[in-house]
Chain A
Amino acid sequence: EDQVTQSPEALRLQEGESSSLNCSYTVSGLRGLFWYRQDPGKGPEFLFTLYSAGEEKEKERLKATLTKKESFLHITAPKPEDSATYLCAVPNQAGTALIFGKGTTLSVSS
């Protein structure tokens, strides 16, 4: 069964304290891995798509990387406004839908 597992479930950081979030997946024949940001009470907002092992994408303080079995979302010198739940998702084997992980809830305090 296709699965997406994210860790940790929750992460508390001080402003400026860099860290990484993990997303591991078991779907075979990966056709893309997607990262989304979700603020409380809102819909997910698209961040990145990664397609092949070794690929990296950056946006402001966020950098996403991909290996054959997992992806990392690195947060460098986070600010309080980076506080949100970060979701990763992969297409199912049929390619008809995205399978989401439960997310990592990041809290950054000043």
Chain B
Amino acid sequence: DAMVIQNPRYQVTQFGKPVTLSCSQTLNHNVMYWYQQKSSQAPKLLFHYYDKDFNNEADTPDNFQSRRPNTSFCFLDIRSPGLGDAAMYLCATSRDIGGSGEQYFGPGTRLTVT
């Protein structure tokens, strides 16, 4: 089945220790998104790629970076995680940009910062 896969499902890192989360998709969608979701909060968009074009949300901290080496894979790098970065990180894809089509989400990676 076509899907969005995220690894790992659970990640524990130390304060200030860089961490990378990965996402892959078999849907061949043009757009990939990274969201941050804290407990009982709405998913918050961090950035998205339309093909190779990177789009950063204005309020996304510089501590968060992303890479998309090819259509199928996208990575979220947190350079120096703080306690406030503990959250669920969701990867999503869509055929077209933004609201012109539904987004398909992966299962998420739960990040714990100790």
A interface residues with partner B (beta carbon < 8 Å): 4, 31-32, 34, 36, 41-46, 49, 87, 89-92, 94-103
Contact = CB atoms under 8 A, between A and B. Distances in A.
A94 B33 CA distance: 16
B30 interface: no
B8 interface: no
Nearest to B6: A43
Interface residues of B, number: 28
A45 B69 CA distance: 26
Contact of B98 (A43, A45, A98): A98
Nearest to A9: B40
B108 A91 contact: no
12 contacts: A4-B42, A31-B100, A32-B99, A41-B108, A43-B6, A44-B90, A45-B105, A90-B99, A91-B100, A98-B98, A98-B99, A103-B40
